[in-house]
Structure 1
């Protein structure tokens, strides 16, 4: 069964998203396009939240989000409980995001890197798996802290 990849962007990254979508499909991944669907302005949090929610709910295996810098979608996706989104603009960071941090979402900036580098980053990230080991303890601490904070804060945040 093919890995299901949620792919989303804002208007600043529409063209790169289309390139990455074809790149993933050519490699046999099951790609679901969460938008946006043109260069018309959209708010990146709307797309990022939906991708992150579906990954947190195990409807999708991994996600790739792209905006102008990759920062906004990383911040937005990371607000969804259980999500680890990693901004990567080089292949080493992409590999470590999976192997050390078990990041389920890769974010990139279409105004920071070009499509050829983006494809290399995606390829490395998709081909990397969580190593566990000492990293498992650290990732578990993040998960435990998030659960504790959600429980103790309840509805009192902002």
Structure 2
């Protein structure tokens, strides 16, 4: 699986741990590449584009709280990002909502919980054989089709 990783300075160390966990996959690290203060959009936006354009199958983005990454990522057509703070939420984000980007807050959860959250999210498939989840996900995609547009 092709995975896009991105972080800002607050998520840099945790992103490194996650990269080790995902080493069996084809991982592309979009940065940042050190802990110097930086602007999150400079790294999350290109990573989200990779997911939205199909150059990556999934993305894992790490910032201080996770919400900044999700706000940026969800502006990109084809990206469905969720902020998850634990394995239970990560499992539901995949199984019920078919998310393709996981956003984590390095200042909110520790590395052990973050690793387990990523592990759960990566191991969970969308429940494509459950009609109510398929219908709900399609409604979200229909909304995105009407309102989220690519650059012209």
Which TM class, normalised by the smaller chain length? over 0.9
Structure 2 residue runs without a partner (length 5+): none
Number of aligned residues: 149
Query: How far is 1:75 from its partner?
Result: 0.6
CA distance in 2, matches of 1:54, 1:110: 22
SS of 1:103's equivalent in the other structure is coil
CA distance in 2, matches of 1:57, 1:40: 29
CA distance in 2, matches of 1:7, 1:111: 17
Runs of 4+ in 1 over 3 A off after TM superposition: none
Query: How far is 1:149 from its partner?
Result: 2.4
Task: Tell me the residue number matched to 2:118.
Answer: 122
Query: How far is 1:150 from its partner?
Result: 4.4
CA distance in 1, matches of 2:35, 2:113: 22
* TM-score after normalising by structure 1: 0.90
1:1-158 alignment, distance < 5 Å: 3-25=1-23, 28-132=24-128, 133=130, 134-150=132-148
SS of 1:8's equivalent in the other structure is strand
* TM-score after normalising by structure 2: 0.93
Query: How far is 1:52 from its partner?
Result: 1.1
Structure 1 residue runs without a partner (length 5+): none
Q: Deviations over 1:118-151 (max 9, x none)?
A: 1100100000011022111111111111212247
SS of 2:22's equivalent in the other structure is helix
RMSD of aligned residue pairs (Cα, Å): 1.5
CA distance in 1, matches of 2:103, 2:75: 14
CA distance in 2, matches of 1:150, 1:124: 29
CA distance in 1, matches of 2:50, 2:21: 22
